[in-house]
Amino acid sequence: MGLNCFIANNKFIIFTARNFSISIMKKILVANRGEIALRVMKSAREMGIATVAVFSEADRNSPHVRYADEAVCIGPAASKESYLRGDKIVEVAKLLGVDGIHPGYGFLSENAAFAKLVEQNGITFIGPTPEAIEVMGNKLAAKEAAKKFDTPMVPGSEGAITDVVLAKQLSDGIGYPVLIKAAAGGGGKGMRVVERSEDLEEQMQRAQSEALSAFGDGSVFIEKYVGSPKHIEVQVLGDNYGNIVYLFERECSVQRRHQKVVEEAPSSCLTPEKRKAIGEAAVRVAQSCAYIGAGTVEFLVDEQLNFYFLEMNTRLQVEHPVTEMITGVDLVKEQIKVARGEKLSFTQQDLEIRGHAVEIRVYAEDPMNNFLPDIGKLQQYKKPEGPGIRVDDGFEEGMDIPIYYDPMLAKLIAYGKDRTEAIARMIRAIHDYKIVGVKNTLAFCEFVLKHEDFVSGKFDTNFVAKHFKPEYLKQSNEDEMEIAALLAGYLSDKPSAKKASSAKPKQAEEGRSIWAKKRGTYRD
């Protein structure tokens, strides 16, 4: 163990003590399920690392259990009794001689106490330090840390605000509308828009009591409300030696009630200058908590392209594949390498954007019925394939979709030389995807991808609320049936003479970029 210091922005940072020697990582336990458990185990296997799966009674027949070298049942279906049982997971890890635990996303991934417990038991937590998780887990602490590193913030209160009179003075000064947010919140929970000075007192009291009952912490803060923002996040990666790089941004504005629907990289609204500025701001946020591993810094971007720090996610994110596709970096591999004490093998100058990637999340939900989660048997399941297509999933044909967990069935990722090609490949892949037995969001995603405001890049976080109506899908279903009927008639008259197009994927050019050093694992 040792202390490490470095100078950034004329500020002297002292790292908390961490193990600076290269540690051996022969066996990794993945404290998760579904697609992300598989995703992590694939990279581990490529690195010659053995894998341990943990699973609940509902997941006995899951692919992640079969894929792992060893698998242990840790409890009943309910997450609280299985995937959230950090104590049991550490017990299993010790029993099986595990060197590192990867938490995936959700479940225990941003639980500082779990990260601490893992390390206290002599096992490497494949993620940031408990201190970084803790600071960024509290929105106010996160803002305070980031502010010291010259991070642009939405105008608002300094810290928690309890006094209504002060809150009113401040809000009158900022100008309405303002937004009241819970310090312990996140993902949009406990937010309240206040349109007029007269409404402030009532809304603030409501926000405080809501926050108290939801998070056990009633502190709130106030920000100017940005009306039509884009949600842009930056992927960062830090090592134990003070090196932090950014792997560009992901555009995540297309979301429905704080659930992301379509993500892409890069964002089509940024200029190279803005991209550099937002990337460097993200690195400073990561520096503010001496970040180690893969993390994501979220920003709000307004219509004038001003960007403001929102929060930092101290985990690997669902949408990480789009970043992998455009940079050629395997983020899970880098997480493992950093966790075992290696220096980052590339610098900021080595990184560049190649092409464009789009991801859609396929949920087992019914978009025609207010996105009601659907469960049942996957009677037919056939994935799309072909140039530029990647599917990260955790289910197979014949499997039951359990009710206990997140309804995400799969992530479909399309890569192309540019945005137009990526979108065209995505629409083709949606058509080639066959999911029978469970209602899903494929048609909804197709609606988004074909919408002129999505195609032109003129969209913000209001896109779905503004444009989507369930009737549109009914209409398109009818259209498709009509087309199918017409086609059937046509085909019965004349035999089809369909030509298959076979566009060859472009070979990666040699250069000084990271593409020359590493092969993009998932490209084509």
List residues near ligand MV4 by CB under 6 A: 154, 179, 186-188, 223-226, 229, 231, 255, 258, 300, 310-311, 461
Output the smallest distance, CB 415 to ligand MV4, in A: 24
Q: Closer to ligand MV4 by CB, 97 or 227: give it.
A: 227
Q: Closer to ligand MV4 by CB, 190 or 328: give it.
A: 190
Output the smallest distance, CB 145 to ligand MV4, in A: 17
Residue whose structure tokens are 């066959």? 434
Q: Closer to ligand MV4 by CB, 18 or 206: give it.
A: 206
Output the smallest distance, CB 366 to ligand MV4, in A: 22
Based on its alpha-carbon atoms, the radius of gyration of the chain, rounded to whole angstroms, reads 24
Query: What DSSP assignment string belongs to 374-440?
Result: --EE--EEE---STTEEEEE---TT-EE-SSS--EEEEEEEEESSHHHHHHHHHHHHHH-EEESS--
State the Cα–Cα distance between residues 448 and 469, nearest whole angstrom. Answer: 11
Output the smallest distance, CB 225 to ligand MV4, in A: 5
State the Cα–Cα distance between residues 189 and 258, nearest whole angstrom. Answer: 9
- The DSSP 8-state label assigned to residue 374 in this structure reads -
Q: Closer to ligand MV4 by CB, 231 or 361: give it.
A: 231
Contacts of 42 (CB under 8 A, 6+ apart): 332
Q: What is the dihedral of CA 282, 331, 350, 338, to 10 degrees?
A: 90
Output the smallest distance, CB 300 to ligand MV4, in A: 6
Q: Closer to ligand MV4 by CB, 168 or 189: give it.
A: 189
Show the CA angle centred on residue 361, arms to residues 357 and 364, nearest 5°.
160
Output the smallest distance, CB 27 to ligand MV4, in A: 36
- Active-site pick, 39, 275, 315, 390: 315
Output the smallest distance, CB 460 to ligand MV4, in A: 9
Closest-CA residue to 222 (of 163, 173, 171, 274):
171
Catalytic residue list contains 275: no
Q: Closer to ligand MV4 by CB, 244 or 297: give it.
A: 297
Cα 46–chain centre separation: 23
State the Cα–Cα distance between residues 346 and 247, nearest whole angstrom. Answer: 11
Q: Which residues pair with 186 in a beta bridge?
A: 189
Query: What DSSP assignment string belongs to 181-250?
Result: EETT-BTTBT-EEE-SGGGHHHHHHHHHHHHHHHHS---EEEEE--SS-EEEEEEEEE-TTS-EEEEEEE
Record the tokens describing residue 54, joined without a space: 């943990």
Closest-CA residue to 292 (of 454, 176, 128):
128
Q: Closer to ligand MV4 by CB, 52 or 204: give it.
A: 204
Long-range CB contacts for residues 45-48, cutoff 8 Å, separation at least 24: 46/330, 46/333, 46/521, 47/333, 47/336
Where in the sequence numbering do the catalytic residues fall?
315
